[in-house]
Structure 1
């Protein structure tokens, strides 16, 4: 039986999304399918789960928000239409809205991107610095003191080593670097595209 390769699946899914964005003519708003985006994001769950520690705070919340986008995909075709529908209904900022959930999911995608960037630029077997820097850069400003304290403590208590993480993902150092670099590149393009959807509609991304 072929080993499950969650990191490889992530790389392939986000590369496909990135390729889809590149097919739209310059000046035309790209339209990512809600179904394809939510499916790709669901592939992050095994990684978040195996990391534990600093990422556990996001797992349950992240999965719920991705599941909401999966449900939305049954009646809404593309992300711009989903956001515009919430804008028209004046529910963008309401808890549980598809648009609010999209913003949170995209923030976690950015967290993973920064985490991989930190791993690629660091040496050794510890994930503590990459995880701490990724959390600090992406999520820290949105959390209160108590949450920040708990996350900081969990970095030292529960985070696996890099070798342990790669073993759980059925990867070695060489293959993981290839997949991580691919995810960094494609996830950056997807994340920036979603940010631009918010900015172009005057919604901003800092909420």
Structure 2
């Protein structure tokens, strides 16, 4: 069992790119497409190791992210697709509830946006530290929705972000290999994020959720 887990860990970036590319490829299908919740959450769970590799202080972010994935999976016991998830909560008038799976989906989408920006920033910079990459992503995605206390906690957590070289060591890849998989993931995530945004924009009663925490 230990050897299997080690092999999975060694390929985390490749597995991440593979999973999200498969989802993106489905989105480009000419036939009417619906996103199965199981496929979506399976890919999203691969982000958790990357969050943990950003430092021990990021553990709280992984707990929060994983809880939202679990919430979406729970909703998937009664509906099969993300489209059905939104439509079901709209019909039940629960979509705006704080614990609605639709709001969980938005928070997961923002985490994917943050991951995309982190990868873009890492690839665009030669800085020894990746703290600026993480900070830039946070300020673009989550900062506007957080209060002073959370912003201060994130600021402290940023001080524990590993160096660029240590991050790649944790991922068990060299920089060139990492960049290939990061670029694949960036492209795939752009399609997926656009798709999720459209899910909400195409439903009048769901649009305003995109501006809420």
TM-score w.r.t. length of structure 1: 0.92
Runs ≥4 residues deviating over 6 A: none
Mapping of residues 137-156 of structure 1, within 5 Å: 137-156=140-159
2:166 maps to 164
Offset of 1:94 from its aligned partner?
Answer: 0.8
Q: Equivalent of 2:19, from 13, 19, 24?
A: 13
What is the SS of the residue equivalent to 2:211? coil
Looking at secondary structure, tell me which structure has more helix per residue. Answer: 2
Offset of 1:171 from its aligned partner?
Answer: 1.3
C-alpha change, 1:103 and 1:169, in structure 2 (3 Å) is: same
2:211 maps to 206
What is the SS of the residue equivalent to 2:78? coil
Residue deviations 1:160-179 (CA, integer Å, cap 9, x gap): 11111111112110110011
Number of equivalenced pairs: 203
Residue deviations 1:129-152 (CA, integer Å, cap 9, x gap): 101100000000000112112212
Offset of 1:57 from its aligned partner?
Answer: 4.1
Mapping of residues 85-104 of structure 1, within 5 Å: 85-104=88-107
Mapping of residues 46-57 of structure 1, within 5 Å: 46-52=49-55, 55-57=58-60
Offset of 1:89 from its aligned partner?
Answer: 0.5
Query: What are structure 1's unaligned runs of at least 5 residues?
Result: none
Query: What are structure 2's unaligned runs of at least 5 residues?
Result: none
2:177 maps to 175
Is the 1:54–1:131 Cα contact (8 Å) retained in structure 2?
no
Mapping of residues 2-81 of structure 1, within 5 Å: 3=7, 4=9, 5-25=11-31, 28=32, 30-52=33-55, 55-81=58-84
Mapped to 2, the partners of 1:122 and 1:54 lie a distance apart of 23
Is the 1:14–1:183 Cα contact (8 Å) retained in structure 2?
yes
TM-score w.r.t. length of structure 2: 0.90
